[in-house]
Amino acid sequence: MEVKRIAVLGAGLMGHGICQVAAQTGGYEVNLYDIEQRFLDNGLGMIKGSLDKFKTKGTLSEAQVNEIMNRIHPQLDLKEAVKNADLIIEVTPEIPDLKKQVFANVDQWAPAHAVIASNTSSISITELASATKRPTQVCGMHFFNPPQLMKLVEVIRGTLSSDETINTVLETAHKMGKETVLVKKDVPGFIVNRILFPALNEAVALYYEGIADRDDIDKAIMLGLNWPMGPLKLLDYIGADTTLAIGDVLTREVDPKFHATPGLKAIVRAKLLGRKTGKGFYEWTQK
């Protein structure tokens, strides 16, 4: 199936980036949906700010920036956002019941041919698909933060996902300039987070047990394992709450060995979530 218009549901940290890549690199018309005008305004502001950086560097002209922004259509009405979309990418918080309600509503209003993909980092694609009457047209499309820079997209096959659905999403991701990997079974955490969560969890444990300082933990992993960023700084980028949510799903659905360290639970309770709240292991400013 050829995708001409994409609906991105959620204008937040990940959603605005996915929207930008779809409009900028993919050249798609994009309906960007959120529940409040302030969320849309913030997301559109971040997209414009990112594009202006490209303009300053000379890689985009003023006309190109305007063309990209004109391909983005903000929406406060979910029905309007999905009614003419070929591919819907859901980017709502990692709350299963919330996502399932969104999927049920989208299924009711989206065209019969449309594919619904979730950017979930841990929730079962098959469970989300069960909220629709088109489970063969549902799959996972997991981008990485920030979507404008990170090349990888994990495409996840639900139990009932059709080959056509998977191929549609793979082709769309490639048109958006992404490298893809196919997760052949619907397992929590997919590939990256199943490997990454234990590393982040142990980094927090090392810090909270007083075994090493923040900077030394991050330096050790950057230099010892050749990571471009240390695990504690990466956790600040992902968000401690999102990381904990992934760990809870892995613990419940895969193996108790994935249980979150008390330190990770403590920073979430303290709302030291990282970049999104301005403070985590590091201090973050709006700039």
Query: Which of the residues 94, 124, 142, 201 is marked catalytic?
Result: 142
Query: Which of the residues 16, 124, 154, 161 is marked catalytic?
Result: 154
Query: Which of the residues 118, 161, 193, 201 is marked catalytic?
Result: 193
The C-alpha torsion from 32 through 194 and 204 to 273, rounded to 10°, is 10
CA 152 from chain center: how many Å? 11
Catalytic (active site) residue 118: no
Catalytic (active site) residue 154: yes
What residue type is 32 in one-letter code?
L
Query: Which of the residues 121, 122, 161, 201 is marked catalytic?
Result: 121
Q: Which of 24, 46, 153 has its CA nearest to residue 89?
A: 153
Catalytic (active site) residue 70: no
CA 39 from chain center: how many Å? 16
| CA–CA separation, 165 and 45 (whole Å) | 32
- List the structure tokens of 42: 């913030």
Catalytic (active site) residue 121: yes
Q: Which of 242, 245, 248, 240 has its CA nearest to residue 271?
A: 240
Q: Where are the beta strands (DSSP E) in 60-127?
A: 72-75, 87-90, 115-118
- β-strands 87-90, 5-9 pairing: parallel
The C-alpha torsion from 284 through 9 and 192 to 231, rounded to 10°, is 10
Q: What amino acid positions are annotated as catalytic residues?
A: 121, 142, 154, 193
